[in-house]
Amino acid sequence: MSIPKAELHLHIEGTLEPELAFALAERNGVDLPYASTEELRQAYSFSDLQSFLDLYYALMAVLRTEQDFADLADAYLARAAAQGVRHAEVFFDPQAHTARGVPLGTVVEGLARALDRAPERHGVSTRLIMCFLRDESAESALETFEAARPHLHRISAVGLDSAEVGHPPSKFRAVYEAAAAAGLRRVAHAGEEGPPAYVREALDVLGVERIDHGIRSMEDPDLVARLVRDQVPLTVCPLSNVRLRCVDTLADHPLPAMLDAGLMVTLNSDDPAYFGGYAGDTFDAVAGALPLGEDDLRRLARNSFLAAFLDDDEELRARYLAEVDAHRF
Ligand code: ADE
Ligand code: ZN
């Protein structure tokens, strides 16, 4: 679906398509334990978040140089633009690379090279969001933040991702305080596999402005009332939720109930190379499987721009919203 939209929940490492993985493996002399792209794609069958993360981190072995990160991001931006994405807020996982000996500067400067060119090359504005791995220690997150200080002019926000259950947001209070003091915006994954209490903690302890996923908020009516009252954006990823078995089928997804409740929901693709669809594919899939009308789809697209970190360019936000309003299905 080509309606203009912002992508607010997108892990750049989750856009690594099998073809690019093999090309980078060859360029860098990395052995992949798969004979072909088809065989690799067949491994994309997941029982839960952890089973996906195991493959997601393993495949990152092919990403080594600034050019690799630039090529990865440029390939994503080209695909996103072709599906109506006009603004992309891109997550990256620095610790997944520094742990393999790739310097943080290589990652950030490589991604920035592609992002800087995205407006002219693809007609896409961008922001970069640095995520901490919640299954690593709080000290590691703090060390990562300190190492990122020379690059903070490239980074708009911090986030929190990886294995959720057993790693509550409160573990990362200190690094979020440091990020806030440095003027960064804050988001966090919460309520994907973890309980509604993690959504509350992300808001109350980390001071986040958006919740990534948040679907399990629906189990807690008081929390839903608060999220509706404060219009806290939830960056929902239905194809991911199905592939990681957070919901049984797309037809069972709580997205319509979330919209009916008055929640500020946006539609996102999370790790599109692994979960079967980029932003436009995701709009198509939910429109096909769920009782959503054109008004709902337009509302989801509007929400994506309303929830975007575009406060430093309200003119651009207004232009994007006008494009959504002018869209004909
Ligand atoms: N890292 C990449 N995708 C993720 C997801 N859906 N949840 C948590 N961490 C992730
Ligand atoms: Zn995610």
CATH number at residue 126: 3.20.20.140
Kindly state whether residue 322 falls inside one of the protein's structural domains: no
- Mutate which of 7, 161, 213 for ligand 1? The one with the most ligand atoms within 8 Å of its CB, which is 161
Q: Band of the pLDDT at 49, cuts 50, 70, 90?
A: very high
> Is residue 130 included in any domain, yes or no?
yes
Q: How confident is the model at residue 233 (pLDDT cuts 50, 70, 90)?
A: very high
Count how many Cα atoms sit within 13 Å of the Cα of residue 224 in the half-sphere of its side chain.
15
pLDDT confidence of residue 166 = 98
* Amino acid 197: pLDDT: 98
| pLDDT average, residue stretch 279-297 | 98
Q: Where are the beta strands (DSSP E) in 106-239?
A: 125-133, 157-161, 185-190, 210-213, 233-236
Q: Say if strands 157-161 and 125-133 run parallel, antiparallel, or are unpaired.
A: parallel
Asked whether residue 316 is domain-assigned, the answer is no
Q: Are 272 and 11 in contact, with CB atoms under 8 Å apart?
A: no
Closest ligand (CA of 162): 1
Q: What pLDDT score does 275 carry?
A: 98
pTM: 0.98
- Residue % of the chain over a pLDDT of 90: 100
Q: How many domains does the chain have?
A: 1
Check residue 36 and give its pLDDT.
Answer: 97
| CA distances (Å), origin 291, targets 43, 75, 185, 253, 287 | 32, 33, 34, 11, 7
Cα 275 to ligand 1 centroid, rounded to whole Å: 11
pLDDT one-digit tens code per residue, 128-185: 999 999 999 999 999 999 999 999 999 999 999 999 999 999 999 999 999 999 999 9
Distance 104 CA to ligand 1 centre (A): 20
Q: What is the pLDDT of residue 223?
A: 99
Helix (H/G/I), strand (E/B), else coil: 306? helix
pLDDT of residue 6: 99
Tell me which residue range forms the domain holding 237: 5-309
Mean local confidence (pLDDT), 87-115: 98
The pLDDT value given to residue 208:
99
Q: Give the pLDDT of residue 109.
A: 98
Residue 188 backbone dihedrals phi, psi, to 5 degrees: -160, 145
19 is catalytic: no
Does residue 268 fall inside a structural domain? yes
Question: Does any domain span residue 244?
Answer: yes
Please compute the mean of the pLDDT values over residues 201-223 and round it to a whole number: 98
Q: Is 9 annotated as a binding residue?
A: yes
Strand 185-190 and strand 157-161: pairing?
A: parallel
Q: Is residue 327 part of a domain?
A: no
Q: What are phi and psi of 221, to 5 degrees?
A: -60, -35
Going 60 to 62 to 67 to 71, the CA torsion angle's sign is negative
pLDDT for residue 140: 98
How far apart, in whole angstroms, are the C-alpha atoms of residue 4 and residue 301? 7
The active-site residue out of 192, 193, 314, 315 is 192
Residue at 328 is within a domain: no
Mapped onto helix, strand or coil, the DSSP state of residue 213 is strand
The answer to whether 271 is a known ligand-binding residue is: yes
Distance 187 CA to ligand 1 centre (A): 13
What pLDDT is attached to residue 273? 98
Q: Is residue 203 part of a domain?
A: yes
Atom of ligand 1 nearest to the CA of 93: 1
User: What is the pLDDT of the chain when averaged over all its residues?
Assistant: 98
